[in-house]
Amino acid sequence: MAFELPSLPYAQDALEPHYSANTLSFHHGKHHAAYVTKLNELIAGSDHEGKSLEEIIASSTGGLFNQAAQVWNHSFFWNSMKPGGGGSPDGALAEAIDAAFGSLEAFKQQFKSAGVGQFGSGWVWLVKDDGALKIVTTANAETPLTEGQVPLLTCDVWEHAYYLDYQNRRPDFIQSFLDNLVNWDFAAANYDEVASVAAE
């Protein structure tokens, strides 16, 4: 069973004007698709055939890890955005953000600063790490999954993620991600899943 490129969870033009259909056509239709194609080429006929994406990420290095992790990271990123996104989280996640960062506004500033400060290509994440909320960055294809952290949401800061819409203005892209695109429902669902597992 080969991996397939997952469909976007919204129409290609649904995030405009903050994230264009043109960007999504390249970012999802070309970049994400290429990671899926290369992953399938690398696992064909190998011991990794038939494993889940998470199993491959946990048990591979080098080129195979890079392709597998980039497939996973991008699927997670599409879900970290939604049409009409932004605003504030509510419920348990809102309380946890206030407790960890002081306020939503302080969280947004720290998340943006971390993403801007990630040198070269990578990702900025909100994760749950051993019970605590943290902002972490990863380089290239690296993912918090391999650190035992639970991702709640992510923003792709590879240049291919924003160049067509924002050119070199990564800070403006991350600000717009936080103000207009971020899917707090997705982050809250990930947080509640962790919380309920921890309570069992």
- Beta-carbon contacts of 127 under 8 Å, excluding residues fewer than 6 positions away, are 133, 134, 135, 136, 144, 149, 150, 151, 152
Number of residues that bind Zn ion (CB under 5 A): 3
Decide: residue 151, CB within 10 A, 0-12 exposed, 13-18 middle, 19+ buried.
buried
Of the candidate spans 9-17, 45-53, 154-162, 182-190, the one that interacts with Zn ion by CB under 5 A turns out to be 154-162
188 torsion bin: left (phi>0), alpha (psi -120 to 50), beta (else): alpha
Minimum CB distance to Zn ion smaller for 64 or for 141: 141
Minimum CB distance to Zn ion smaller for 156 or for 165: 156
Of the candidate spans 96-104, 145-153, 155-163, 166-174, the one that interacts with Zn ion by CB under 5 A turns out to be 155-163
Of the candidate spans 6-14, 109-117, 148-156, 178-186, the one that interacts with Zn ion by CB under 5 A turns out to be 148-156
156 lines the binding site for Zn ion (CB under 5 A): yes
161 lines the binding site for Zn ion (CB under 5 A): yes
Largest CA-CA distance found in the chain, in angstroms, rounded: 51
Instruction: Please tell me the distance from the alpha carbon of residue 112 to that of residue 177, in angstroms, as a whole number.
Output: 9
158 lines the binding site for Zn ion (CB under 5 A): yes
Where on the chain is the footprint of Zn ion (CB under 5 A)?
A: 156, 158, 161
